[in-house]
């Protein structure tokens, strides 16, 4: 790592720039930002600043400082994400500061553990319907197979049946557009649209899709729908022309992190015979004689299948988001440093979960470590920060955990899988969101 320190405000943490002056740290940072964080920490200590493309990113890597990161009034979430939100969803600054807090309060209120439970039966039906389209046997890239089932099912559940892509061609088109948007999300959040043509056109396509979804959602007489959807609630909060734009952000947040985690959870389970066996013992004993086509799985059933939930939590731990961020709005004291206003503060859940003081054998997939967490009472393990923290903690976390627990139990009950490739590595290219696999992973499946 050829880096050098640069001039810095007094008492600020060490500030690093790359060895090629005109690239700055962006060079190495852009190649594999996750590796870069670990190397810089080893060399410069637990708090350091990286100068990338004129921006100061200050990393906070000690668990002891996480409470301050999440709770301090000297740092702010909205100030950190406003610009990326403007670039990725074209929401004006004024609209964002006016409606962001209310829209998040709404999502949080609609996705409490209790309200999430009301969505579970319908979600299970949707998963069944889409999984049945796989036929009795076949093969394919696991990530694609999952996207084709989970995207439309979750959209039907959160945005309404009329707003879920209908039929194989529509699903395929949506998966293609959404994947392009998601893959470029991080670069799109930083760069002007003219550098990212394909990405911009997917974004436009998605925005016009959301526009027509909102028209449909508003048109449905309330007695025709199961109950109001999250999208219908959201449009009542946003009183300006950016309704589809907030809709797109919500859609992205609900699909982008959870579905790669399903991939990892299944890949870890299937590649590990002892773990696969333990999961199947619980699944089969609880679901034993259920219909294999339209398999009903209730939340009470899931309570009796805790091992699968541990697998989900362990997959989230190991493939957690590369970074969460806050803006320093007043000089922020941390350890012996004063971090200047304007810095972007970064905390990496991915690396935090590799701290052996909190997670022994941190690189190993060990579902049993979750036995200690009080998951029934919605407690996590100490040191687990995959959903962020403080008042901006992920409002979709209870939904995500229910969705993944339900899906993995269901798919393993209905189908038998064989992995034809080795489990991929995480790509380490992205800081935003959970990790993506670095190559395809082919599986063969047959309906039980």
68 lies in the site for ligand HEM, by CB under 6 A: no
User: In the bound complex, what is the minimum distance in angstroms from residue 197's beta carbon to ligand HEM?
Assistant: 27
Q: What is the DSSP letter of 91?
A: -
258 lies in the site for ligand HEM, by CB under 6 A: yes
* Residue 418 to residues 288, 415, 421, Cα–Cα distance (Å): 21, 10, 9
User: In the bound complex, what is the minimum distance in angstroms from residue 105's beta carbon to ligand HEM?
Assistant: 9
CB closer to ligand HEM, 99 vs 387? 387
Q: What's the number of CA atoms in the CB half-sphere (13 Å) around residue 391? A: 12
Torsion of CA 402, 407, 412, 413, to 10 degrees: 90
Could you tell me which of 30, 34, 31 has the C-alpha nearest to residue 52? 30
Position among 47, 159, 302, 316 found at the interface with ligand HEM (CB under 6 A): 316
Considering only residues 86-125, where is the footprint of ligand HEM by CB under 6 A? Answer: 104, 107, 111
CA 240 to CA 448: how far, in whole Å?
A: 50
CA 413 to CA 286: how far, in whole Å?
A: 10
User: In the bound complex, what is the minimum distance in angstroms from residue 154's beta carbon to ligand HEM?
Assistant: 8
Residue 351, SS3 per DSSP = helix
Return the H-helix or E-strand segment holding 207: helix 197-219
CA angle (301, 306, 312) in 5-degree steps: 110
Torsion of CA 240, 245, 251, 256, to 10 degrees: -140
| Residue whose structure tokens are 């974004």 | 203
Considering only residues 396-415, where is the footprint of ligand HEM by CB under 6 A? Answer: 396, 399-400
Could you tell me which of 409, 416, 417, 412 has the C-alpha nearest to residue 443? 417
Q: Which stretch binds ligand HEM (CB under 6 A): 248-256, 411-419, 422-430, 438-446?
A: 248-256
- Hey, which residues does 59 pair with through a beta bridge? 48, 346
- Strand (E) positions, 210-357? 324-328, 332-334, 337-339, 344-347
155 lies in the site for ligand HEM, by CB under 6 A: no
257 lies in the site for ligand HEM, by CB under 6 A: yes
Position among 297, 394, 406, 411 found at the interface with ligand HEM (CB under 6 A): 394
| Residue 11 annotated as binding site | no
CB closer to ligand HEM, 263 vs 445? 263
Position among 434, 435, 443, 445 found at the interface with ligand HEM (CB under 6 A): 434
| Residue 394 annotated as binding site | yes
Residue 64, SS3 per DSSP = helix
Considering only residues 371-390, where is the footprint of ligand HEM by CB under 6 A? Answer: 386-389
Considering only residues 318-357, where is the footprint of ligand HEM by CB under 6 A? Answer: 321, 324
248 lies in the site for ligand HEM, by CB under 6 A: no
CB closer to ligand HEM, 286 vs 323? 323
CA 70 to CA 388: how far, in whole Å?
A: 8
CB closer to ligand HEM, 123 vs 297? 123
79 lies in the site for ligand HEM, by CB under 6 A: no
Burial annotation 177-214 (CB, 10 A radius, 16+ → b, else e): bbbbbbbbbbbbbeeeeeebeebbebbebbbebbeebb
User: In the bound complex, what is the minimum distance in angstroms from residue 184's beta carbon to ligand HEM?
Assistant: 19
CB closer to ligand HEM, 29 vs 77? 77
User: In the bound complex, what is the minimum distance in angstroms from residue 389's beta carbon to ligand HEM?
Assistant: 5
Cα 421 from chain centroid? Answer: 25
CB closer to ligand HEM, 140 vs 389? 389
250 lies in the site for ligand HEM, by CB under 6 A: yes
Q: Which stretch binds ligand HEM (CB under 6 A): 253-261, 264-272, 359-367, 424-432?
A: 253-261
CB closer to ligand HEM, 163 vs 254? 254
User: What residues form the annotated binding site for heme?
Assistant: 394
Residues that bind ligand HEM (CB under 6 A): 77, 104, 107, 111, 250, 253-254, 257-258, 261, 316, 321, 324, 386-389, 392-396, 399-400, 434
């Amino acid at each position: 790592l050829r880096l050098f320190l640069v001039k810095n405000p007094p008492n600020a943490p060490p500030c690093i720039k790359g060895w090629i002056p005109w690239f700055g740290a962006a060079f190495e940072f852009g190649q594999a930002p996750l590796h870069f964080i670990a190397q810089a920490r080893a060399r410069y200590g637990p708090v350091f600043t990286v100068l990338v493309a004129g921006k100061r990113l200050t990393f906070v890597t000690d668990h002891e400082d996480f409470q301050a990161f999440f709770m301090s009034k000297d740092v702010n979430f909205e100030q950190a994400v406003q610009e990326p939100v403007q670039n990725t969803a074209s929401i004006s600054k004024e609209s964002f500061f006016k409606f962001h807090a209310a829209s998040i309060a709404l999502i949080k209120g609609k996705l409490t553990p209790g309200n999430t439970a009301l969505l579970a039966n319908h979600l299970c039906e949707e998963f069944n319907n889409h999984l049945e389209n796989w036929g009795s046997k076949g093969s394919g890239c696991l990530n694609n197979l999952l996207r084709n089932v989970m995207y439309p099912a979750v959209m039907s559940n959160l945005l309404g049946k009329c707003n879920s892509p209908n039929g194989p061609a529509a699903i395929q088109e949506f998966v293609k557009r959404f994947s392009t948007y998601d893959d470029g999300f991080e670069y799109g959040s930083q760069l002007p649209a003219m550098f990212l043509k394909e990405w911009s056109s997917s974004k436009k396509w998605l925005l016009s899709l959301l526009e027509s979804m909102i028209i449909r959602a508003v048109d449905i007489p309330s007695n025709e729908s199961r109950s109001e959807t999250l999208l219908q609630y959201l449009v009542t909060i946003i009183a300006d022309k950016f309704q589809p734009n907030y809709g797109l952000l919500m859609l992205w947040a609900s699909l982008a992190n959870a579905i790669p985690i399903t991939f990892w959870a299944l890949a870890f389970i299937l590649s590990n015979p002892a773990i696969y066996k333990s999961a199947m013992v619980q699944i089969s004993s609880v679901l034993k004689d259920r219909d294999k086509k339209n398999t009903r799985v209730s939340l009470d059933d899931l309570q009796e299948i805790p091992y699968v939930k541990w697998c989900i939590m362990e997959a989230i731990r190991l493939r957690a988001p590369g970074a969460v961020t806050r803006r320093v709005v007043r000089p922020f004291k941390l350890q012996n440093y004063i971090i200047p206003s304007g810095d972007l503060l970064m905390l990496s859940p991915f690396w935090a979960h590799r701290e052996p003081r909190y997670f022994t054998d941190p690189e190993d997939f060990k579902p049993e470590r979750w036995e200690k967490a009080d998951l029934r009472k919605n407690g996590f393990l100490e040191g687990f920060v995959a959903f962020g923290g403080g008042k901006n903690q992920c409002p979709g976390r209870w939904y995500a955990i229910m969705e993944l627990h339900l899906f993995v139990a269901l798919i393993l009950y209905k189908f038998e899988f064989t992995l034809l490739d080795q489990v991929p590595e995480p790509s380490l290219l992205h800081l935003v969101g959970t990790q993506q696999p670095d190559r395809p992973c082919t599986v063969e499946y047959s309906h039980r």
